C-alpha cells in the first residue's frame, strides 16, 4: 500500500485528496473553480492546498509515491498539457504536469476526467481488474473511458473513448461540438435541461418548473421527479432519453463486446428508474450474445469517484513506471 495525492479539476470545483493505492481516501480539501482565476493565480492555490492537506494529516512529501491529475479535456497526456478546458479560461496550452513537477519531486501523471473515472472503476469498483470495461460519465455531458485487455484505450491523439460525440442522428439537434445528433445531445443532462427550458419558453405546460423552483434551475433531477408524478412532458423526455441511451450503449456492445459497462452520475441517482427500462430497451439495439455477456450496472463509487479517479491515474501511471 502506497500513499498518493489526487487532484481532480471538475466543472465547479477542484477536489484535492490524500489517499492510497487501495482506494482509501484519508482526507480531502476543495476549492471553487470560480475562485481560481487564470492559471498563474489558480495553480499556486492548488499547490498551497496540497501542502495544507499533507500538513493536516502529518504526512511528509517523502511518504508520497506519486500524484494523479484528473483534468478537463481537451488535453494531451503525451505532452502533459491542458489544451483548451472550456470552464478554465486562461488555462489554455498549459504544461500542467511540468508545473507540478517543479514543486513536487514526485512521479506525476494526468488524464481526462472520463478516463480517470473509468480507471477508478477498474481499480476500485464493481468491475475491478476485468479484461474489457466501458465507463460512461452520464452527468452534464456524456463522456467515456474504455479499458481493453486491461489497458486504458487512449488512441493516437488521446481522444479514444469520446463516446459522447459519436452521431446517433445526423438530422438531430446541433451539439456544442459542432456536429448534429451526438449521443451527448440526446443523453447529456445539460442538453436535456436546455431542451425542456426551450419547450417551456414556447408555452409547454409541465410541473417540471415547480419541481425545479424556477425555469433556470431545471435539471435532470427535477425532470425525474416530475416524471415519477406522471407529468406528460417529463415522461416523454425520459422515454426519449432511455431510448437514445439504449441506442448508444447498443453501439458500444456491438463494437466492443465488453465484459462490463458501468454508468455514472444520472444512473447512480435514478437507479432502477433508469436501469429497468434501459435493460428492457437494449435488445432492440444489440445482438443477444454480447448483451447477455455484459454486466451493465450503475456505479457504486458514489461521490468518491472523482477523487478515486485522480488516485487511480497515479496507480495506473506507477504501474507503467515500474
Omega prior to 74 cis, within 30 of 0:
yes
What's the rounded mean pLDDT across residues 92-119?
95
Nearest to 134 by CA among 282, 263, 287: 263
Spatial distance between the Cα atoms of 115 and 113, rounded to a whole number of angstroms: 6
Q: Full-prediction pTM beyond 0.85?
A: yes
Question: Is residue 159 over pLDDT 90?
Answer: no
Per-residue CA distances from 110 to 66, 113, 115, 311, 312 (Å)? 11, 9, 10, 10, 10
Nearest to 313 by CA among 104, 43, 41, 107: 107
Question: Is residue 39 over pLDDT 90?
Answer: yes
Q: What share of the chain is helix, strand, coil (3-state, %, to 5)?
A: 45, 20, 35
Spatial distance between the Cα atoms of 206 and 70, rounded to a whole number of angstroms: 38
The confidence score (pLDDT) of residue 274 equals: 97
Percent of the chain topping pLDDT 90: 90
Domain 3-112+304-321 falls in which CATH fold? Answer: Nucleotidyltransferase; domain 5 (3.30.420)
Spatial distance between the Cα atoms of 34 and 87, rounded to a whole number of angstroms: 9
Among 64-68, 80-84, 158-162, 275-279, whose mean pLDDT is lowest? 158-162
Spatial distance between the Cα atoms of 2 and 312, rounded to a whole number of angstroms: 12
Nearest to 265 by CA among 308, 294, 212, 301: 301
The confidence score (pLDDT) of residue 12 equals: 83
Right CATH for 126-300 from 3.30.420.40, 3.30.70.100, 3.30.300.30, 3.40.50.300: 3.30.420.40
Spatial distance between the Cα atoms of 293 and 315, rounded to a whole number of angstroms: 28
Mind listing the pLDDT tens digit for each residue in 165-220?
A: 999 999 999 988 889 999 999 999 999 999 999 999 999 999 999 999 999 999 99
Mean pLDDT over the full length of the chain: 95
The confidence score (pLDDT) of residue 321 equals: 58
Spatial distance between the Cα atoms of 216 and 129, rounded to a whole number of angstroms: 42
Confidence of residue 87 (pLDDT cuts 50, 70, 90): confident
Mind listing the pLDDT tens digit for each residue in 257-273?
A: 999 999 999 999 999 99
The ranges of the chain annotated as CATH 3.30.420.40 are: 3-112+304-321, 126-300
Amino acid at each position: 500500500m502506497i500513499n498518493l495525492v489526487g487532484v481532480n479539476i471538475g466543472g465547479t470545483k477542484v477536489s484535492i485528496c490524500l489517499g492510497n493505492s487501495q482506494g482509501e481516501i484519508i482526507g480531502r480539501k476543495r476549492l471553487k473553480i470560480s475562485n481560481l482565476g487564470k492559471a498563474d493565480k489558480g495553480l499556486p492555490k492548488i499547490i498551497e492546498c496540497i501542502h495544507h492537506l499533507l500538513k493536516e494529516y502529518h504526512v511528509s512529501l517523502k511518504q508520497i509515491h506519486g500524484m494523479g491529475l484528473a483534468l478537463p479535456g481537451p488535453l494531451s497526456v503525451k505532452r502533459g498539457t491542458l489544451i483548451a478546458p472550456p470552464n478554465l479560461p486562461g488555462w489554455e496550452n498549459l504544461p500542467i504536469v511540468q508545473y507540478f513537477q517543479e514543486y513536487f519531486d514526485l512521479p506525476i501523471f494526468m488524464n481526462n476526467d472520463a478516463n480517470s473515472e473509468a480507471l477508478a472503476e477498474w481499480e476500485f469498483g464493481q468491475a475491478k481488474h476485468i479484461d474489457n470495461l466501458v465507463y460512461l460519465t452520464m452527468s452534464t455531458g456524456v463522456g467515456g473511458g474504455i479499458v481493453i485487455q486491461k489497458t486504458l484505450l487512449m488512441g493516437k491523439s488521446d481522444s479514444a473513448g469520446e463516446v459522447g460525440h459519436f452521431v446517433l442522428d445526423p438530422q438531430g439537434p446541433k451539439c456544442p461540438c459542432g456536429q448534429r445528433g451526438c449521443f451527448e445531445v440526446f443523453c447529456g443532462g445539460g442538453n436535456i435541461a436546455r431542451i425542456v427550458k426551450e419547450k417551456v419558453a414556447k408555452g409547454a405546460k409541465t410541473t417540471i418548473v415547480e419541481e425545479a423552483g424556477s425555469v433556470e434551475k431545471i435539471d435532470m433531477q427535477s425532470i425525474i421527479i416530475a416524471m415519477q408524478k406522471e407529468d406528460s412532458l417529463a415522461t416523454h423526455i425520459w422515454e426519449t432519453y432511455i431510448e437514445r441511451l439504449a441506442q448508444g450503449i447498443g453501439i458500444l456492445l456491438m463494437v466492443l463486446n465488453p465484459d462490463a459497462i458501468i454508468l455514472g452520475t444520472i444512473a447512480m441517482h435514478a437507479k432502477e428508474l433508469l436501469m429497468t427500462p434501459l435493460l428492457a430497451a437494449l435488445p432492440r439495439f444489440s445482438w443477444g450474445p454480447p448483451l447477455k455477456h455484459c454486466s451493465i450496472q450503475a456505479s457504486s463509487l458514489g461521490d468518491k469517484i472523482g477523487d478515486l479517479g485522480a488516485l487511480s491515474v497515479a496507480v495506473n501511471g506507477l504501474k507503467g513506471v515500474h
